[in-house]
Amino acid sequence: MKRLAAGFGLLALSLVPLQGAAEKSIFSEISPAELALKADPLQPGADAVVLFQSVFSNHRDGYEEFHTRIKILTPEGRRFADVEILHIEGVLEVTQLNARTILPDGSAVPFEGEVFDKLVAGDRDGEVLFKTLAMPAVEVGSIVEYRFRLERKAYFPPLPWLIQREISVLKGRYSVKQMRHASRSRTNLNWSYRLPEDSVLELQDDGETRVLEIDNVPPNPEEAYSPPGDLPGYHVRFFYFYSKLTAETIDAYWAEVAIRLAEEEEDFIRDDKGIDGVVRSLTEDSAEGRLRALYTHAQQLTNLDYEGPTTLKERDRQDVKRNRGVDDVLKRGYGTGGDINRTFVALARKAGFDALVVKVRSRREGLFLKNLPDDSQLDTPLVRVRLGSSWLFLDPATRSCPFGFLPWDSAAARGIAVLDPDSSAPIYVSTPAPESGGAATRRRFSLELREDGSLAGSLHVEFGRQQSLQRRLSAVRLEASNRGQMLIREVERSLPAGARVELRGTSGWDLAEAPLAAQFDVELPGVAVSTGTRLVVPLNFAGADRAYPFQRSSERVNPIHFSYPWQEIDEILISLPAGYAIEDFSSDSTLSGESVEYRLAASEEGGRLRVDRFLRVEGTLYQPEAYPRFRRFFRLVKNGDDKYAVLQREN
Amino acid sequence: MQYCSVKTRVAILFVAFLTLVQPVSAGVPEWLRVAARLPVPDYPEDTPAVLLWQEKITEIKKRGDVKERVRMAYKILNTAGTEFGDVAVFFDQETELSYLKAWSLPAGDRAYELKEKEAVESSLFSYVLYDDTRQKRLRVPAAVAGNIIGYEYERKRRPYVLEDTFRVEHVVPVLRARYEVRLPRGWEFDGRWVNYEGVEPRLLRDNRWEWVLSDVGALELESSMPSPVALAVRLQLSFFPDDARLRGRATTTWKEIGRWYDELASGRRQATAAIRHKVADLTDGLETFEDKVAALASFVQQDVRYVAIEIGIGGFRPYPARSVLGNLYGDCKDKATLLASMLGEIGVDSYYVLINTSRGAVAPEAPSAYSFNHMILAVALPEDADVPARWYATGTADGTGRVLFFDPTDATTPMGYLPTSLQANYGLLVTEGNGSLVQLPLLPSSLNRILRAGQFVLTASGGLTGNVQEVRMGVQAFSYRQAFRSRTPEERREFLEDFLSGQLTGFTLHEASVENLERFGSNLVLRYRFSAEDYGQPLRHLMLLRPRVLGQKGEGDLAFESRVHPVEFSSATRQNDVFDITLPAGLVPDELPPPVEWWTDFADYRSSVTVEGNVLRYRRTYTIKKVWVSDVELEELQRLHEEILKDERSLVVLRRVVDPTPSPHGEPGHRGEPTSLSTSLFSVGW
pLDDT digits (tens, 9 = 90+) for A42-57: 999 999 999 999 999 9
Q: From the candidates B488, B530, B648, which should be mutated to test the interface with A, based on the most A CB atoms within 10 A? A: B488
User: Do residues B89 and B213 touch, judged by C-beta distance below 8 A?
Assistant: no
**Predicted pLDDT of residue B309:** 92
The residue among B198 and B652 whose pLDDT is bigger is B652
Number of helices (H), then strands (E), in chain B:
11, 39
First to last CA, chain B: 82
Q: Which of residues 407-436 of A touch B (CB under 8 A)?
A: none
Question: Do residues B374 and B355 make contact, with C-beta atoms less than 8 angstroms apart?
Answer: yes
Average pLDDT score over residue span A494-523: 93
Instruction: Average the pLDDT over B126-139 and give the result.
Output: 89
Q: Which residues, including other chains, have CB under 8 Å from residue A292's CB and lie 6 or more apart?
A: A284, A403
Q: How far apart are CA A299 and CA A400, in angstroms?
A: 7
Measured between beta carbons, the chain A residues lying within 8 angstroms of B498 are 551-552
In whole angstroms, give the CA distance from residue A281 to residue A607: 58
Q: Residue A24: exposed, middle, or buried by beta-carbon count in 10 A (0-12, 13-18, 19+)?
A: exposed
Q: Which residues contact residue B468 at a Cβ distance below 8 angstroms, ignoring those fewer than 6 apart?
A: B452, B453, B454, B526, B527, B528, B529, B530, B550
DSSP string, A137-169: S--TT-EEEEEEEEEESS--PPPPEE---SS-E
Strands A302-303 and A334-335, how do they pair?
parallel
Identify the bridge partners of residue A172 per DSSP, sorted by sequence position.
A53, A214
- Residues in chain B with CB shorter than 8 Å from the CB of A49 are none
> Does position A270 have pLDDT exceeding 80, yes or no?
no
Q: What percent of chain B has pLDDT over 70?
A: 91
Q: How many CA atoms lie within 13 A of A372 on its CB side?
A: 18
| pLDDT given for residue A564 in this prediction | 96
* B631 interface with A at CB cutoff 8 Å: no
Q: Which residues numbered 531-550 in A keep a CB inside 8 Å of some CB on B? A: 531-534, 536, 538, 548
Q: Which amino acid is at A352?
A: G
Who contacts B183 (Cβ-Cβ below 8 Å, separation ≥6)?
B60, B189, B207, B208, B209, B239
- Strand blocks (E) in B476-572: 507-515, 524-532, 537-538, 542-545, 567-568
How high is the pLDDT of residue B676? 31
Cα–Cα distance, B627 to B639 (Å, whole number): 17
Pick the residue from chain A with its C-alpha nearest to B495. A552
Out of A4-8, A506-510, A520-524, B296-300, pick the least confident: A4-8
Q: Write down the pLDDT at residue A186.
A: 64
B284-298 average pLDDT score: 95
Q: How many CB atoms lie within 10 A of CB B101?
A: 20
The beta strand positions in A246-290, using DSSP E, are: none
**Residue A284 predicted with pLDDT over 70:** yes
pLDDT value at residue B680: 24
* Separation of alpha carbons A373 and A250, rounded Å: 7
* A-interface mutation test, from B544, B587, B616, most A Cβ less than 10 A away: B544
A 543-602 → B contacts, CB under 8 A: 548, 551-554, 583-596, 601
Cβ-defined contact of A551 to B505 (cutoff 8 Å):
no
pLDDT band per the 50, 70, 90 thresholds, residue B534 = confident
Find chain A residues with C-beta within 8 A of B327's C-beta: 113, 134, 136-137
Q: Which residue has the higher pLDDT, A109 or B22?
A: A109
- Using a CB-CB distance cutoff of 8 angstroms, which residues of chain B are in contact with residue A526? 642, 645-646, 649
In this complex, is the C-beta atom of B501 within 8 Å of any C-beta atom belonging to chain A? Answer: yes
Using CB atoms, pick whichever of A43, A531, A601 lies closest to residue B591: A531
Q: Is A486 on the interface with B (CB under 8 A)?
A: no
Q: Which residues numbered 101-140 in B keep a CB inside 8 Å of some CB on A?
A: 109-110, 112, 114, 117-123, 125, 129-130, 134, 139-140
Q: What values do phi and psi take at B229, rounded to 5?
A: -60, -35
**Do B79 and A643 make contact, defined as CB atoms within 8 angstroms?**
no
Closest CA to A377 of A192, A562, A563: A192
**Strand, coil or helix: what is B228?**
helix
* A554, A586, A593: residue with CB nearest B686: A593
For position B682, what pLDDT does the model report? 25
Region A609-622 average pLDDT: 96
pLDDT at A84: 94
3-state secondary structure of B652: strand
Give the span between the Cα atoms of B332 and B313, in whole angstroms.
15
Q: Name every chain B residue with its beta carbon within 8 A of the beta carbon of A122.
A: 120-122
What is the model's pLDDT at position B659?
A: 54
- What pLDDT, on the 0 to 100 scale, is given for residue A25? 63
HSE (CB half, 13 Å, CA atoms) of A75? 20
Weakest mean pLDDT among A170-184, A558-572, B162-176, B573-587:
A170-184
Closest approach of chain A CAs to the CA of B348, in angstroms? Answer: 26
Q: Is A79 helix (H, G, I), strand (E, B) or coil?
A: helix
Give the span between the Cα atoms of A84 and B122, in whole angstroms: 15
Residue A54 phi, psi (nearest 5): -135, 145
Report the alpha-carbon distance of residue B48 to residue B84 in Å, rounded. 9
Please list every residue in chain B whose beta carbon sits closer than 8 Å to the beta carbon of residue A601. Answer: 674
Q: How far is CA B630 from the centre of its chain?
A: 18
Mean pLDDT for the stretch of residues B190-196: 94
Q: Which of A114, A554, A633 sits opposite B682 (nearest CB)?
A: A633
Q: Which of A82, A136, A551 sits opposite B501 (nearest CB)?
A: A551
pLDDT of the residue at A482 = 85
Mean pLDDT of A629-645: 90
Chain B residues with CB-CB distance to A123 below 8 A: 118-121
Per-position b or e across A90-126, b if 16+ CB within 10 A of its CB: ebbbbeebbbbbbeeeeebbbbebebbbbbbebeeee
Nearest to B540 among A116, A525, A584 (CB): A584
Residue A373 reports pLDDT greater than 70: yes
Taking contacts as CB-CB distances below 8 angstroms, the residues of chain B near A604 are none
pLDDT at B385 over 90: no
pLDDT at residue A217, as a whole number = 96
Q: What's the Cα-to-Cα distance from B88 to each of A287, B122, B152, B588, rounded to whole Å? A: 55, 10, 11, 67
Interface residue A621 vs chain B (CB under 8 A): no
CB of B652 within 8 Å of any CB in chain A?
Answer: yes
Q: What is the pLDDT of residue A256?
A: 87
* CA gap A279, B107 in Å, rounded: 38
What is the Cα–Cα distance from A606 to A611, expressed in whole angstroms?
13
Mean pLDDT of B529-543: 90
Cβ atoms of A173 and A201 closer than 8 Å: no
> Which of A132, A137, A554 faces B328 most closely, judged by CB atoms?
A137
Mutate to test the interface with A, among B327, B499, B563, B639 (most CBs of A within 10 A): B327
Q: How far is A202 from chain B (nearest CA, A)?
A: 35
Which residue did the predictor score with more confidence, B269 or B661?
Answer: B269
| CA atoms of A433 and A414, how far apart (whole Å) | 10
A287-299 and A273-280 helices, crossing angle to 10°:
130
Q: Does B684 touch chain A (CB under 8 A)?
A: yes
Widest CA span in chain A:
96
A-chain CB neighbours of B501 within 8 Å are 548, 551-552
pLDDT at A240: 85
Cβ separation A632–B681 shorter than 8 A: yes
For residue B484, what pLDDT is reported? 93
Chain-wide mean pLDDT for chain B? 89
N-terminal to C-terminal alpha carbon distance within chain A: 68
Give the DSSP H or E segment for A610. strand A608-617
Closest to A415 measured CA to CA, from A466, A374, A385, A387:
A374
- Looking at the predicted structure, is the pLDDT value of residue A289 above 70? yes
- Confidence category of residue B555, pLDDT binned at 50, 70, 90: low
Query: Which secondary-structure segment (H or E) carries A213?
Result: strand A209-217
How deeply is B55 buried, as exposed, middle or buried, from its count of CB atoms within 10 A (0-12, 13-18, 19+)?
A: buried
**A and B: number of Cβ contacts within 8 A:** 238
Contact B112 A317 (CB under 8 A): yes
pLDDT at B591: 94
Distance of CA B205 to the CA centre of its chain: 42
Report H helices in B305-425: 321-327, 332-345
C-beta atoms of B682 and A592 within 8 A: yes
Query: Region B558-587: what's the mean pLDDT?
Result: 90
C-alpha to C-alpha distance for B137 and A456, rounded to whole angstroms:
49
